[in-house]
Chain A
């Protein structure tokens, strides 16, 4: 029971702070660069971009070269800009 309360408390803290944006951002950014800068496969990049908490959803648009990732109540899109400037986080 205490563990359960602790987990709920941690989730509440995470949802209220800016830090939880990092979970979706880091996955989106590293996945985008892995796919469109380094040129690796989806499977490889999913494994590479994995951080502390697995993403809740990953939506990739291969044609337009962007990925939208949701995790810890936040959503981030990272998109490929150009050969020179690689990927960047949009929002």
Chain B
């Protein structure tokens, strides 16, 4: 990779004149750290909020649980959450939740009207209670599997199903025993709600280097140092645009980020890709305030950015353009 172009990338990422605020960045190619940089107060092994990147690691835990026969994609949500109600709710499965297509009525957004936001209620009014149950009580308003609708509630419902599939004792150690320890991840903190369910939507904390290990696991098709951690075909399942997202695209008038199963994809709709500078098969775990884990499968590149963009948004396409330009 061209070091001068990499310099430009890092200069952009840490530019104090910009409205965004980068805390740490790691660029890896072919398994080697090409460059990493930290803002004042941050370091390689210091843990950081990942926000919705937690959702993508929730996908990892579910892949492991499926491989171990604890749960399956066809497992019905109603089996564990009888309070589920509304249109054809009996048909809702774990697969629908992973694809954000449960059909549950949900308002994820809060900046315009926080009072109407389900996510604020879930995270801050029901945190010391049961977030999965709160989500399950919202009515199903669309046939499950037909419509993509991003919802943090679905991630917590997934984590609730996982707990009920295995019991608290195994569940509370599961992320460490089956994932973090195997990947030598030492920085992980995963906060829980009042019913001891990991907050799969939002509250995993990792160091930048440990987050990069999650990217490496997916880049290696779910294999870590010769051990298969994720089931065969899981990364393909995760990184293939889901049918519900495709259904939504008929009404879209511009490019939209594609969605597989709890990971974002740069796959195009009929108007193109959201990040035209990046290859279409790039997949991403993304979080609030500018957290980014991006995997470039063909180029064997992993990019991690942790941040606190409270005022402005970084231009991801610009980042990807620098990365691709550095390969020329």
Contact = CB atoms under 8 A, between A and B. Distances in A.
B203 A86 contact: yes
Given A18-B125, A38-B49, A40-B41, A84 B120 contact: no
B176 A84 contact: yes
Nearest to A52: B114
A26 B194 CA distance: 15
Contacts of B317: none
A39 B203 CA distance: 15
B140 to A, nearest CB: 23
A77 B6 CA distance: 45
Contacts of A4: none
B121 A88 contact: no
A26 B189 contact: no
A20 to B, nearest CB: 9
Nearest to B289: A48
A72 interface: no
Looking at B114, B125, B205, the one whose CB has the most chain A CB atoms below 10 A away is B125
A89 interface: yes
A21 B124 CA distance: 7
B48 A29 contact: no
B15 to A, nearest CB: 20
Given A38-B49, A44-B41, A19 B121 contact: yes
B127 interface: yes
B124 A29 contact: yes
Interface residues of A, number: 24
Nearest to A48: B308
A88 B190 CA distance: 11
Given A52-B114, A88-B194, A37 B127 contact: no
Looking at B48, B124, B193, the one whose CB has the most chain A CB atoms below 10 A away is B124
A90 B13 CA distance: 38
Given A38-B48, A39-B46, A19 B191 contact: no
Contacts of B308: 48
Contacts of B78: none
A51 B86 CA distance: 34
A29 B125 contact: no
A25 B49 contact: no
18 contacts: A18-B121, A25-B125, A26-B123, A29-B124, A37-B191, A38-B47, A39-B46, A40-B41, A44-B41, A48-B310, A84-B188, A86-B191, A88-B127, A88-B128, A89-B124, A89-B127, A90-B128, A91-B128
- The 10 A-B pairs at the shortest CB distance, nearest first, are namely A25-B124, A86-B191, A22-B124, A86-B189, A89-B128, A26-B124, A89-B127, A37-B189, A21-B125, A22-B120
